[in-house]
Amino acid sequence: MDIAFVLYPDMTALDLIGPYEVLGQQPEVTAHFVAESREPVRADAGLTIVPTTTFAELDRADVIVVPGARGWAKVLAEGVVAAWLREVHPTATWTTSVCTGSTLLAQAGILDGRPATTHWALRHELAARGAVVSTERVVVDGSVVTAAGVSAGIDMALTLAGLIWGDQRAEFTQLFLEYDPRPPYGTGSPETAPAELVAFARGVLVGS
């Protein structure tokens, strides 16, 4: 099974690494790190990842994983990722996104009329691009699976693992990763965080 993990400059590293840790270790999987070129790609916080292939070289994959980025608008404007997604999505078994990666799926026409989720601060942007926005952490609609912000990529990948290999494999993977979140603060969503913190975060995220 070929899984394409999409790379582009200033993407959010956990959007990619979380799903990779869940899916990339499965014995049936060959992971491909695909980007516009084979030059190292620097994520937003400085982590550098070396692509194994390019958009021009990889014209199909069984599963596609698209991370998001704080600078999502720039990636949309460049149009490179969306152009590749239009080409490969029709033959993929699963097309997935994490966080604002869903805006790239929408730009490619993949989310037209579909329920989908994204980072809470960008739901309006996703709606403006033709998706039916959900507030769920993970949304499965046919062959398309979208995740909310950043850490939700792990939930998305475990959901996908269950769909592909069955619940027992997904449960083992969750146990192996010791994925048992117990955050020290209760501010992980706009529904639970103080209003002033939500407003500040929205300004940072939407204005970036």
Segments making up each domain of the chain, as ranges: 2-207
pLDDT at 164: 98
pLDDT at 179: 98
CATH number of 2-207: 3.40.50.880
pTM confidence score = 0.96
Residues above pLDDT 90, as percent of the chain: 96
Measured between alpha carbons, how far is 42 from 114 in angstroms, rounded to an integer? 31
- The mean of the pLDDT values for the chain is 96
Q: Which of 41, 99, 106, 110 is catalytic?
A: 99
pLDDT at 208 over 60: no
Q: In terms of DSSP H, where are the helices of the chain?
A: 13-23, 72-78, 80-88, 101-107, 123-128, 152-165, 167-176, 195-207
The pLDDT tens digits of the residues spanning 171-182 come to 999 999 999 999
Split at pLDDT 50, 70, 90, the class of 155 is very high
pLDDT at 140: 98
HSE (CB half, 13 Å, CA atoms) of 135?
Answer: 4
Distances (CA, A) of 196 to 150, 175, 187: 21, 36, 12
97 φ/ψ angles, rounded to the nearest 5 degrees: -145, 160
Measured between alpha carbons, how far is 55 from 110 in angstroms, rounded to an integer? 18
Any catalytic annotation for residue 14?
Answer: no
**Residue 36 token pair:** 């516009």
